[in-house]
Amino acid sequence: MMTNTANSTLMTESPAATRLREKIEQATAVVGVVGLGYVGLPLVRAVHEHGYRAIGYDTDQTKVDQLNAGQTYLKHLGADLVKTLAASDRFTPTADPALLAEADIILLCVPTPLGRHNEPDLSFVLDSTRMVAEILREGQLVVLESTTYPGTTRDEMLPILEAGGLRAGVDFFVAYSPEREDPGREGFSTASIPKLVGGVDAVSGDLATRFYTRVINQVHAVSSAEVAESAKLLENIYRAVNIAMVNEMKILLRDMDIDVWEVIDAASTKPFGFQPFYPGPGLGGHCIPIDPFYLTWKAKAIGRTTKFIELAGEINKQMPTYVVGQLVSALNERERSLRGAKILVMGIAYKPNIDDIRESPAAEIIEMLHGGGAIVAYHDPHVTSFPHMRKHHITLDSVTLTPDVVRAHDVVLIVTDHAAVDYEMLGAHARLIVDTRNAMAKHAPNAAAPIVKA
């Protein structure tokens, strides 16, 4: 279903636009997906399932080799997906950018991290755009799906793409359509999550909307790329601000000896005007910890400040420090120093029941514990070895969770509340549990271990 709230002015199509529209409607358009990670690979699935030929490009040759062999590297997507793609003659994984010249539609699904000073790092977007510019031809549609600040598609990408002499909206087409993936969330897939689409011009927006309507159940067209870029930021800043508020409430209520989790449950009985958000050890994932800073940077560029959003960012960023402080206090109360203490961290993924560790607060927490002289081990049923991260370099492997292993540690620190963990066993054998997720709530009455909520 397509919902179009964009301007409905009459558009005059160029011959290139007409040919591309016909290819989209006949499902003969070739779709190139740049970046085969948490966003790109599910998008390949949606494109492939709806009859289009897909070219998947990634700079990581290992991913390409795994896809060719039908081996999965994103467990939450299941093994069947990559097996289906490997057996299909309509999917070509590659690390050769020249193959993208065959694509009529190119979707950019690349990271947009932060720099050292929390400034936007558009290097992946700009490098990908330059790569596309090298093979850009008449009749191609280029769509950015990566989260970014308003104006990126028009002000940063468009000049690179037009430098070769082709004209946007006439010879080729450019749009923005933000990804809305939530790895591990049940009941939703790429095809079932409504899609926002905004073009840098009316023709580009219309062509992008027509394409996504063929592979996504519901598409909502907006008047410009800037509106779509802003909407994506609003979605995630909304969550970041509310999580910051409840994190601040947690700290305040703890000092008043009030359980924030019970308070949230009580407030949730109101049938209107309240939506529950839950505190934690810090924000994780690629979007929520990063997106607010993209808007604050853009605001400064136009001479504005975003005090509310920046304050939320400060609160959320301090949560790993708060958690470690609560752990140290709990040790001190038991006449135990952090230095030399054996800490077992439960869960390093940024959210339960997946293997995604992007921006996980567990990395910062473990580094702070190491810095304080603690001896740290971790258990995560979904992450067997601590992967390389841009800002963190931790060399640890997941330990097997047994009563003996639990008893051998001074503290069990619950950072991620995976369902596969035996919390009853933790409660029975741990010396001390510091719980950042309220994971022990159901098991506390039977637990022998003292439980500190942090």
What are 139-178's pLDDT values in tens digits? 999 999 999 999 999 999 999 999 999 999 999 999 999 9
At residue 443, what is the residue type? Answer: H
362 has pLDDT over 90:
yes
Partners of 34 in the beta sheet?
Answer: 57, 108
Residue given tokens 């933000």 in the structure block: 178
Residues in Cβ contact with 451 at an 8 Å cutoff, skipping those fewer than 6 apart = 427, 433, 435, 440, 444
CA angle 267, 272, 275 (to 5 degrees): 55
**Residue 443 CB neighbours (<10 A):** 18
454 has pLDDT over 90:
yes
Residue 176 is predicted with a pLDDT of 98
User: Which runs of E-coded beta strand occur in 76-228?
Assistant: 91-94, 105-108, 141-144, 173-176, 195-199, 219-221
Instruction: State whether residue 425 is helix, strand or coil.
Output: helix
Identify the helix (H) or strand (E) that includes residue 375.
Answer: strand 375-379
Comparing 127-136, 187-196, 242-251, 342-351, the range with the smallest average pLDDT is: 187-196
Partners of 106 in the beta sheet?
Answer: 32, 142
What are 128's two structure tokens? 């990908």
CATH of 318-453, one of 3.40.50.620, 2.40.40.20, 1.10.12.10, 3.40.50.720: 3.40.50.720
**Residue 287 designated active-site:** yes
What are 113's two structure tokens? 């991290």
Percentage, residues of the chain above pLDDT 70: 98
Residue given tokens 């509340």 in the structure block: 417
* Residue 79 near residue 114 (C-beta atoms within 8 A): no
What are 63's two structure tokens? 């991913």
State the chain's mean pLDDT as an integer.
94
d(C-alpha 181, C-alpha 204), whole Å? 23
Identify the helix (H) or strand (E) that includes residue 452.
Answer: strand 451-453
CATH of 2-223, one of 3.40.50.720, 3.40.50.2300, 3.40.980.10, 3.30.565.10: 3.40.50.720
d(C-alpha 360, C-alpha 372), whole Å? 20
What are 155's two structure tokens? 């002000």
- pLDDT band at 196, cuts 50/70/90? very high
Question: Where in the chain are the domains?
Answer: 2-223, 318-453
Identify the helix (H) or strand (E) that includes residue 2.
Answer: strand 2-4
Identify the helix (H) or strand (E) that includes residue 125.
Answer: helix 123-135
Which among 268, 246, 429, 448 has a CA at the least distance from the CA of 346?
429
Partners of 376 in the beta sheet?
Answer: 343
Helices within 256-391 (DSSP H only): 260-267, 291-301, 307-317, 319-333, 361-371
* 275 secondary structure, DSSP code: -
Comparing 4-13, 270-279, 336-345, 394-403, the range with the smallest average pLDDT is: 4-13
* 166 secondary structure, DSSP code: -
d(C-alpha 346, C-alpha 362), whole Å? 9
- pLDDT band at 8, cuts 50/70/90? very low
* Residue 135 near residue 101 (C-beta atoms within 8 A): yes
Residues in Cβ contact with 273 at an 8 Å cutoff, skipping those fewer than 6 apart = none
pLDDT (tens digit per residue) in 49-95? 999 999 999 999 999 999 999 999 988 888 899 999 999 999 999 99
pLDDT (tens digit per residue) in 175-184? 999 999 888 7
> b/e map of 358-390 (b: 16 or more CB within 10 Å)?
bbbbbbbbbbbbeebebebbbbbbbbeebeeee
What are 368's two structure tokens? 């702070």
What phi and psi values does residue 265 have, to the nearest 5 degrees?
-60, -40
pLDDT (tens digit per residue) in 263-279? 999 999 999 999 999 99
Residue 393 is predicted with a pLDDT of 85
Strand order in the sheet with 342-346: 375-379, 342-346, 411-414, 433-435, 451-453
d(C-alpha 173, C-alpha 190), whole Å? 23
Do 2-223 and 318-453 come out as alike in CATH topology? yes
pTM: 0.91
Candidates 103, 237, 287, 440; catalytic one: 287
- pLDDT band at 4, cuts 50/70/90? low
Residue 1 is predicted with a pLDDT of 57
Instruction: State whether residue 188 is helix, strand or coil.
Output: coil
